[in-house]
Amino acid sequence: MVTNIQKSSGTMPKWAQAWFALTLLVMAYGFYAAMTAPREATMGNLYRVFFYHLPHTILSFVFPYLNCGASFLYLFWRNRNVERAAAADAFALAAAEVTVLYATIGLATGMLWGRAAWGIWWAWDARMTTYLLLWLLYVSYLLVRRLSASGQTAVVSAVLAIFAAIDVPICFMSIRWWRTQHPSAVFGGGSNSGIDPSMVPAVLWNMVAWAMWGAFLIGMRYAIERRRQRQSNAHALGFLGDEIGNNFQEIR
Amino acid sequence: MNYAQQVLTHLRKDLRLEWRTKDSINGMLFFALLVVVVLAMAFDPASYPTMTRQISGGLLWVALLFAAMTALNQSWARETNNNVLDAHRLSAAPASALFVGKALANFLFVMAVEVVLAPIFTVFYNLQPLGETWKLLIILPLGTWALVVNGTFFAALSLRSRNRETLLPLVLLPISMPALLAMIQATTAILTGEFEPTLWIKVLVAYVIVFTTACVLLFQTILSAD
């Protein structure tokens, strides 16, 4: 592990730089597609925020499951493989943070759009409430990570991540149980849902762009968290003295 | 000893501890009563019977939720005295028996508070329910269990954290939100008689089953977290 610290030069690997550049290109094309898509019949140009609102909201329902999966892996590896468990924990943290980021953007774009389209910033309808709940759940997850005792942060947050992930579909299903002001689900929401075929490319390009961006952010955050873990490990071993510390490294 | 006997032993221990001090129940009862009175300051319950029916379900559950939270924070603190919790970890009994026993004890405490609080609520708020009142006998225990099972679990989760009292509501409230919605909707349905509570009772049942399972399965992990 010590050698790893010396190796990391502080720059991204080549493939990550390529991924970043590609993401920017797709994002730029997505922006072009969103701005040149035909005007919407009733909302005019106003609806274009939809091309950003939709990817962020859909993706912020995907990332929680990366977080949940990583948490399961953490609990599985906890007593079997310490190194992998630490990696899973770092990934869970990265996924949760990006979830909160995307949900915040989804909420913000939704509120802006709602103000312009419905005349109100916020309505307590089922979909918006459940989405706000998703946001609250993962903010509370991040708070727990901060507040829990240092030795058990990973376990406590992994368990909480599983609870949160169970909670998400229960919230999501309430859309079908409660009256809603939000337009019915864009995909698979019945005969009145859906979008005009001419808008599909713009939706898909933006979807891909923001998914790539999310993956990039998670990767970055994961790398940073792994570096922090290595640093605190090295710090802890430093207290044992160089000799013992180095021996301990070899044994592991 | 089989599993049920172990649960029963834990339950009996918790009930006995509570019987000796009566800290939790007295604290919860008075706290809930205070919340009811404070909420009555916010609006005039006796003069607007229709509005009272519409919001009383929510107020009752809010009072109970806050009251339960004060007791839940204490329920594991008992086990940390004299390192009893470490003894539990060493014990051959499954950790989930400890959890189920304590959750059942907390459930009984909160139910006891409800039995006292519900008549007080009806009198103070001049409530005349328009729906089928007997269904409250299903909704109250279900809702209470939904709050208490997660509450007991998360109280154990935040046991060794820095600021335990703050952490519990931060975790419990977001997770309990669907259950709260369901129990408030179901209670409001019965008080106003405007719609059927059946759907929300089903939501509560699903929630209770899912989260009880999750709590029982994951409690071992939490108990041996460090």
- Whether residue A126 lies within 8 A of chain B, CB to CB, comes out as no
Q: What is the predicted ipTM?
A: 0.85
Q: What's the pLDDT at A252?
A: 47
Residues of B in contact with A137 (CB under 8 A): 174-175
Is A148–B162 a contact, with Cβ atoms under 8 angstroms apart? Answer: yes
Are the Cβ atoms of A137 and B175 closer than 8 angstroms? yes
Please write the tens of the pLDDT for every residue from A85-141: 999 999 999 999 999 999 999 999 988 888 888 888 888 777 787 788 889 999 999
What part of A 170-229 touches B (C-beta under 8 Å)?
A: 170-171, 174, 177
Concatenated DSSP letters of A133-173:
HHHHHHHHHHHHHHHS-GGGHHHHHHHHHHHHHHHHHHHHH
What is the rounded distance in angstroms from the CA atom of residue A157 to the CA atom of residue A142?
Answer: 8
For residue A144, which residues of chain B lie inside 8 Å, CB to CB?
158, 161, 167, 170-171
Q: Return the pLDDT at A177.
A: 67
Give the long-range contacts of residues A152-155, CB within 8 A, separation 24 or more.
Answer: A152/B160, A152/B225, A152/B226, A154/A74, A154/A78, A154/A85, A154/A86, A154/A89, A155/A75, A155/A78, A155/B221, A155/B222, A155/B225, A155/B226
Structure confidence at residue A183 as a pLDDT band (50, 70, 90): low
Note whether A156 contacts B157, CB cutoff 8 Å.
Answer: yes
Distance from CA of B197 to the nearest CA of A (A): 12
Q: What is the pLDDT of residue A178?
A: 59
**Shortest CA gap A136–chain B (Å):** 6
Distance CA(A93)–CA(A101), nearest Å, equals 12
B142, B64 contact by CB (below 8 A): no
Q: How confident is the model at residue A244 (pLDDT cuts 50, 70, 90)?
A: low
CA B130 distance to own-chain centroid: 26
pLDDT tens readout for residues A8-42: 556 788 888 899 999 999 999 888 888 887 777 67
The Cα–Cα gap between A150 and A145 comes to: 9
Chain B residues within 8 A of A136 when measuring between CB atoms: 173-174, 177
Q: At what angle do helices B3-21 and B95-124 cross, to 10 degrees?
A: 50
Please count the other Cβ atoms lying within 10 Å of the Cβ belonging to residue B30: 13
From chain A, pick out residues whose CB is under 8 angstroms from the CB of B226.
149, 151-152, 155
- Nearest-CA neighbor of B119 among B20, B29, B42, B6? B29
> What pTM was estimated for this model as a whole?
0.84
Residues in chain B where the model's pLDDT stays below 70: 226
Q: A177–B203: do the CB atoms touch at under 8 Å?
A: yes
HSE-up of B206 (CA within 13 Å, CB side)?
Answer: 15
Cβ contact A170–B178 (<8 Å) = yes
Kindly determine whether residue B175 and residue A164, on different chains, have CB atoms separated by under 8 Å.
yes
Token pair, residue B99, equals 């959890």
Confidence of residue A6 (pLDDT cuts 50, 70, 90): very low
In chain A, residues with a C-beta closer than 8 Å to the C-beta of B177 are: 133, 136, 167, 171
The domains of chain A are located at 46-181+199-251
Enumerate the residues of chain B whose CB falls inside 8 A of the CB of residue A162: 214, 218
A&B contacts, CB < 8 Å: 83
Question: What per-residue confidence (pLDDT) applies to A3?
Answer: 45
Longest CA–CA span in chain B (Å) reads 59
- Every domain of chain B and the residues it spans: 3-223
**What mean pLDDT do residues A179-189 have?**
53
Q: How far apart are CA A172 and CA B143, in angstroms?
A: 20
| pLDDT per position as a tens digit, A190-231 | 555 566 777 788 888 888 999 999 999 999 999 999 999 898
pLDDT tens digits, one per residue of A138-161: 999 999 888 877 778 888 889 999
